[in-house]
């Protein structure tokens, strides 16, 4: 089974994440050991028009070592032009999105729609690969829906069209996040392909990553929600051990992230407004972090992905005020926490402010506590 070539010196990649994969967040992932990072999905047609918003998605941070731009395209001309522009802007590789399930994308013939048009998909990939020197990669789902799983056929076309790497997110378009990712099927695709295949879906802990890699024989794994919940997952995967950060350590991570947002968007009122489209949203993911010591969770992880499992938040009554705030699932609390992070000068001041927030915030109603880490999206 082919391994990744030497210019991709990591088996653990950050998945493309619309909204989540913003530059400040990717920078945080790099701090925690991410080597291969990817942009949010950019619409090729908008890139071709050099729309400001779309061009902003192509920007890389100086710390990013291997940076890929993901595009969504339904037409060869759009894909080729956007690929060239992405490379001009400094992308080390360009990825074609063939998995986006969102109505607006699929109705325009992009994203997961391409799984239903493998011939067209092949033409787009071939033209992209022809147009640039850098590698072209492709990210697919297993098919449109359960009775239309066609990843085997699509994978064959993708590799024949000149893609350097294929990523398989082990779910269909219709399944969204309702089912566990099918790593057996990912393994089948790995075995049939002569190019490296990355597996993707439900990796929340380093030991799940290791197990899914062994199970499938994949060349690597892509981290999506796991990285959003704990960007230090990259470091955990490399070290093969879990970091169980204290609430102070997590506040420090958040402070650092707020600092990166300020640098990116600027530390003024306008920058604050822009950053606040991201920070509270990210806190919704960070709030799902739970300590999952390997000795207690490894057996369960072999049975069923931890990302998809509902756990009681045991000991929740004894959590300190800061820990309670950090785990709070409510959006209004994320808004308030984000405001404190933006204003914070140092860890001590922030901790004090979060303790005050905890004192004036009513306890979460039991019915509001999910107790699991499952996250649904698009």
Ligand X SMILES: Cc1cc2nc3c(=O)[nH]c(=O)nc-3n(C[C@H](O)[C@H](O)[C@H](O)COP(=O)(O)O)c2cc1C
Q: Which residues are catalytic?
A: 100
Nearest approach in angstroms of CB 378 to ligand X is: 6
Kindly tell me which of 197 and 358 has the beta carbon lying closer to ligand X.
197
| Choice between 4 and 15, CB closer to ligand X | 15
Q: Which stretch binds ligand X (CB under 6 A): 11-19, 263-271, 316-324, 346-354?
A: 11-19
- 68 near ligand X, rule: CB under 6 A: no
**Residue 79 touching ligand X (CB under 6 A):** no
Residue 350 CB, nearest approach to ligand X (Å): 26
Q: How far is the CB of 189 from ligand X (least distance, A)?
A: 15
Q: How far is the CB of 358 from ligand X (least distance, A)?
A: 27
Strand partners, 172: 143
| Residue 184, Cβ density class (10 Å: 0-12 exposed, 13-18 middle, ≥19 buried) | exposed
Cβ neighbours of 19 (radius 10 Å):
14
CA angle 266, 288, 322 (to 5 degrees): 75
Using CB under 6 A as the binding rule, whether residue 46 contacts ligand X is answered as no
- The DSSP string of 192-256 is H-SS-EEEES---SHHHHHHHHHHH--SEEEESHHHHH-TTHHHHHHHTS-----HHHHHHHHHH
Residue 229 sits in the site that holds ligand X (CB under 6 A): no
The pair of structure tokens assigned to 338 is: 């984000």
Report in angstroms how near the CB of residue 16 gets to ligand X at its nearest: 4
Eight-class DSSP state of 102: -
Nearer to ligand X by Cβ, of 71 and 193: the residue is: 71
**Site residues (CB under 6 A) for ligand X, limited to 191-220:** 200-203
Does position 250 interact with ligand X (CB under 6 A)? The reply is no
| Beta-sheet pairing, 220-223 with 197-200 | parallel
- Binding to ligand X (CB under 6 A): which residues in 23-42? 40-41
> Could you give the CA distance from residue 159 to residue 60 in angstroms, rounded to a whole number?
27
Residues in 92-131 that interact with ligand X by CB under 6 A? 97, 99-100
> Tokens at residue 106, please?
């699929």
Q: Which residues bind ligand X (CB under 6 A)?
A: 15-20, 40-41, 70, 97, 99-100, 139, 169, 200-203, 223-226, 307, 377
């Amino acid at each position: 089974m082919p391994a990744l070539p030497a210019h991709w010196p990591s088996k653990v990649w950050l998945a493309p994440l619309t909204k989540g994969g913003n530059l400040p967040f990717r920078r945080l992932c790099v701090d925690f050991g991410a080597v291969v990072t990817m942009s949010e999905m950019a619409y090729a047609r908008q890139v071709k028009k050099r729309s400001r918003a779309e061009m902003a998605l192509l920007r890389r941070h100086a710390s990013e070592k291997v940076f890929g731009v993901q595009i969504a395209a339904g037409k060869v001309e759009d894909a080729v032009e956007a690929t060239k522009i992405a490379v001009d802007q400094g992308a080390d590789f360009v990825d074609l999105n063939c998995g986006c399930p969102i109505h607006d994308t699929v109705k325009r013939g992009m994203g997961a729609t391409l799984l239903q048009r493998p011939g067209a998909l092949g033409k787009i990939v071939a033209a992209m690969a022809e147009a640039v020197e850098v590698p072209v990669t492709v990210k697919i789902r297993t098919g449109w829906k359960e009775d239309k799983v066609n990843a085997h056929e699509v994978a064959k076309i993708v590799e024949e069209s000149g893609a350097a790497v294929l990523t398989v997110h082990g779910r269909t378009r219709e399944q969204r996040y309702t089912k566990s990712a099918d790593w057996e099927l990912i393994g089948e695709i790995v075995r049939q392909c002569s190019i490296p295949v990355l597996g993707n879906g439900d990796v929340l802990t380093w030991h799940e990553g290791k197990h899914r890699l062994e199970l499938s024989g994949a060349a690597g794994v892509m981290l999506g929600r796991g990285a959003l919940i704990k960007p230090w997952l990259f470091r955990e995967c490399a070290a093969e051990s879990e970091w169980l950060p204290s609430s102070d350590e997590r506040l420090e991570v958040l402070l650092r992230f707020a600092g990166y947002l300020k640098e990116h968007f600027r530390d003024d009122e306008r920058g604050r407004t822009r950053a606040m489209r991201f920070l509270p949203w990210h806190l919704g993911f960070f709030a799902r972090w739970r300590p999952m010591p390997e000795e207690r969770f490894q057996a369960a992880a072999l049975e069923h992905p931890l990302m998809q499992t509902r756990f009681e938040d045991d000991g929740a009554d004894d959590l300190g005020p800061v820990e309670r705030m950090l785990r709070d699932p409510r959006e209004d609390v994320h808004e308030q926490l984000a405001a404190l992070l933006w204003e914070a000068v140092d860890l001590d001041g922030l901790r004090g402010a979060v303790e005050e927030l905890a004192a004036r915030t009513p306890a979460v109603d039991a019915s509001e506590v999910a107790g699991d880490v499952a996250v649904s999206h698009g």
